[in-house]
Structure 1
């Protein structure tokens, strides 16, 4: 996994976790949802990079 791609994926996950936490604390359901979407996006990016890496090794 490329370092920049890995950092980008983790940044999305962290950003999502923060948004979700703030949404929980303030009762903002929309912000909670955005946080969950950002986390999912980060996990998908990470998974895609792992698949790419698996094919590069073969």
Structure 2
């Protein structure tokens, strides 16, 4: 179950990050890029949990 949760959180963070990058404010764009990267990391974590099991 942790796999699915991580993947969903990752998708949400990636989507919100992409939306923030459309801002005119450079600080908000930077936050958006960081949030998108965080989301990609969460998705990777979910994929690893799926491959190895949720016990990691």
Query: Which structure has the bigger radius of gyration?
Result: 1
4+ long deviations beyond 6 Å: none
Q: Residues 14 and 39 of structure 2 are in contact (CA less than 8 Å); yes or no, is this contact kept in structure 1?
A: yes
* Other-structure match for 1:11: 12
- Structure 1 gaps of 5+ residues are none
- TM-score, normalised with respect to structure 1: 0.78
Q: Distance in 2 between matches of 1:36 and 1:15?
A: 10
TM-score relative to the length of structure 2: 0.80
Deviation at 1:33, TM superposition (A): 0.3
CA RMSD of aligned residues (A): 1.1
Aligned residues: 51
Gaps of at least 5 residues in structure 2 are none
2:36 to 27, 34, 39: 39
Q: Which has the higher helix share?
A: 1
